[in-house]
Amino acid sequence: MVWPSSYGRIRLFRDEEVLSLDYVPERLPHREKQLSELFSIFSPILEKPGSAARRVLITGNIGTGKTVTAKKFGELIQLEAQRRGLEFHYVHVNCRIQRGSFFHVLLKAVRHLKPSFPGRGFATHELLSALLDALDESDAYMILTLDDMEALVDKCGADPFYDLSRAHDDRTGGPYRLSLICILRDPDKLEKLDPATRSTLEEYVIHMPDYTKEQLFDILMDRVRLAFYEGAVREDVVEFIAEIAAPRGDARYAIELLWRAGKLAELEGQAEIMPEHVRRARAQVWPVEKDVLKALPLHAKLFLLAIARVFKFTDEAYISMGEAEDTYRMVCEELGQEPRKHTQVWKYVQDLAKLQLISTRPSGQGYRGRTTLISLYSIPAEELERELSTLLSKELEVEVN
């Protein structure tokens, strides 16, 4: 097989976009059940427009298809609404990218309907009213999806969800035009919401289980057929990638491994991806999205930077909580920040562990008293320090060495 080439180099990729995180494929292997559930929940909106609003919670670990399933559903329900002659809008907003700002979440939704809507001069409740008014004016309906809703909970608490869940309170009998999908990894975040708001959001819950090795293989094979020229990726190589990603059940990680292995093979002028390319790709792929680091609160970044610095100069697998806090205080002093108290720092430890940026375990023999031991989950300390230093330099507008 001969592939088209540019500048004399063999091309393995037919379409790299197929392997991007934003790509929404034609079919979603092993998420057909969840798509069907979403259609079942939202069918009253299509059958009797304005008669009801729906609120759905989608949960699951990183890479379990939460975002892509919601986006695919958005595509399909808009097509079905169009077929029925309804004006229907699906708006997907990532709350981390919006830095947990409810104002900016609503502004994006309003601008979907009115692109020239001004970004200043309105309070948040006025933006919500403007959104409902714009839907009324065009006799339209909308599903607003709040992806990574944890960022909104952390910054704003229960208020956004209370406001959205009560948006139609003054419309007895309808029309109900705004429905909600909330996507989050950690259901424990809902404990920050008041019971009434939480019960409203938990009206319908769809959980995305981790993918198995066999399911990851199916997903990867779909992408291989679309992304690569025939013969560029053998099935045993795809199986190898699925095996590496299987303990995490993370399709995003598996797809990034495939893409990076392909880039390595192509740069070397190879006619196909070999297992060695996959092994090298594994060493290069970050185990978490860099957007997760970017969205961390300032002092969570500072604490994580402290941990990275300690591990950069130690051969130990774990450090104590005390060592981490001592270095954190030094980092704060270096960057002119007031360190947080132990209670808040402990919360950062718990949050970082849930995000799989660090791992923790209780101390055992060899330690005086009981303490928490901390280890870096899987990111090399030097790379983590470099990435955090870059982020903090921009955020604090100072040079972080």
pLDDT in tens, the chain (401 residues): 435 554 456 789 999 999 998 899 999 999 999 999 999 999 999 999 988 889 999 999 989 999 999 999 999 999 999 999 999 999 999 998 888 899 999 999 999 999 998 888 888 889 999 999 999 999 999 999 999 998 888 888 888 888 888 887 776 666 899 999 999 988 888 887 888 888 888 889 999 999 999 999 999 999 999 999 999 999 999 999 999 999 889 999 999 999 999 999 999 999 999 999 999 888 777 766 677 888 889 999 999 999 999 988 887 778 899 999 999 999 999 999 999 999 999 999 998 988 878 888 887 655 555 778 998 866 778 888 988 999 999 888 877 76
Residue 115's alpha-carbon distances to 87, 110, 119, 254, 376, in angstroms, are 17, 8, 10, 37, 44
**Beta-carbon neighbour count of residue 40 at 10 Å?**
10
pLDDT of residue 326: 95
SS3 388: helix
| Structure tokens that stand for 277 in this block | 């390319």
* Same domain flag for 246 and 171: no
* Same domain flag for 144 and 11: no
pLDDT of residue 382: 84
Structural domain for 168, as ranges: 32-208
Domain boundary among 284, 303, 327: 284
pLDDT of residue 193: 83
pLDDT of residue 288: 67
- Class of residue 144 by CB neighbours under 10 A (exposed 0-12, middle 13-18, buried 19+): buried
* Same domain flag for 215 and 202: no
Phi, psi (rounded to 5 degrees) for 50: 85, -5
pLDDT of residue 381: 85
**Beta-carbon neighbour count of residue 327 at 10 Å?**
19
Domain boundary among 265, 284, 303: 284
Give how many domains the chain has, as a whole number: 3
Closest CA relative to residue 152, chosen from 94, 112, 231: 94
* Same domain flag for 271 and 294: no
Alpha-carbon span 73 to 35, nearest angstrom: 6
Judge whether 183 lies within some domain. yes
Closest CA relative to residue 144, chosen from 190, 207, 201: 201
Judge whether 401 lies within some domain. no
Question: What CATH code is carried by the domain that includes residue 12?
Answer: 1.10.8.60
Judge whether 321 lies within some domain. yes
Beta-bridge partner residues of 5:
10
* Same domain flag for 312 and 378: yes
Domain boundary among 243, 261, 284: 284
- Class of residue 50 by CB neighbours under 10 A (exposed 0-12, middle 13-18, buried 19+): middle
* Same domain flag for 274 and 383: no
H or E, element range at 43: helix 32-47
* Same domain flag for 187 and 44: yes
